[in-house]
Structure 1
């Protein structure tokens, strides 16, 4: 807050700053709960989010129904790394003891997808339509 208000010469209260900062929050896709449950039937589901502490404070209470669905979750501000830095992917793979060849990274950012792909992860770019498209892809893939 102090650094931002100094750099941008802003005159606002901390509460005003938090409200403006949190307005940039992204939430889960509408079909997230249903699709996370379907994905869990096929394997582990882990959340890796570029989240700062202010967003987490706002996001966490509203996510109490969805966070327990994940086998684990990693927030960038807690681990000191952010996507697309490939070290964050290595960190999660190591912590979860996942085989990179049996892991699929799903994200809505092309930059994050390309970083994960360069590391050797299987990747899928999910669009605003949500995970339904990926579920279909995964079902078709598992039939082959």
Structure 2
């Protein structure tokens, strides 16, 4: 029987426009998100470089754009966080141990908090026994060490734990360690339909 649920954040609770940042950067003159930029993003998401160095790293590819324009483009992916999802989570937190495990960076989290306000994000975070952001952990999914970190830190039993994420590589990694998983299909499914899945 499931007693613990680990949730991803982006596209599970907060809505994302995956093309938003791509389109915004195109307008600034960035033709492709190449390997160098992917590495830069990975470094930033695991807290290995500062926000300044991350933004300057992107600016090298679009030198005619300001740091402010680049940061705005970077945040174009972030949309709304529907209240009904928070209310569902609050009910869930009364019955299960909950954790948040997100590949994210300092800019996106700061923007989410500023946009939604202290009351909202405090209510959200308080639903979880612990909130894990990759830029604070120094680890990111689907690295198995990320999941092992939670198992050892919180004495989790994967067989009694459900992991919910929209990316298959992440749920596949969790599955390989014995977790129950829900690879949520964005646009077709909503986290509030968790009980309809009959996995808990």
State the TM-score, normalizing by the size of structure 1: 0.84
Residues paired across the two proteins, number: 139
8 A Cα contact 1:107 1:125, kept in partner: yes
**How far, CA to CA, are the matches of 2:185 and 2:83 in structure 1?**
12
Off by >4 Å, runs of 4+ in structure 1 = 26-30
Q: Which residue of 2 aligns with 1:47?
A: 100
Q: Which residue of 1 aligns with 2:59?
A: 5
Aligned with 1:132 (options 192, 197, 200)? 192
Name the CA shift for 1:28/1:123 in 2 (closer, same or farther; >3 Å): farther
Is 1:78 matched with 2:132? Answer: no
Aligned with 2:89 (options 8, 11, 36)? 36
**How far, CA to CA, are the matches of 1:46 and 1:31 in structure 2?**
19
**How far, CA to CA, are the matches of 1:47 and 1:39 in structure 2?**
13
8 A Cα contact 2:56 2:67, kept in partner: no
SS at match of 2:110: helix
Q: Which residue of 1 aligns with 2:181?
A: 123
Name the CA shift for 1:29/1:88 in 2 (closer, same or farther; >3 Å): farther
Q: Deviations over 1:37-72 (max 9, x none)?
A: 232233111110111111121123323331222221
Q: Which residue of 2 aligns with 1:64?
A: 122
Q: CA RMSD in A?
A: 2.0
Name the CA shift for 1:130/1:141 in 2 (closer, same or farther; >3 Å): closer
SS at match of 2:153: helix
Task: Give the superposition deviation at 1:22.
Answer: 0.8
State the TM-score, normalizing by the size of structure 2: 0.62
Q: Which has the higher contact order (CA 8 A, sep 6+)?
A: 2
8 A Cα contact 1:31 1:131, kept in partner: no
SS at match of 1:37: helix
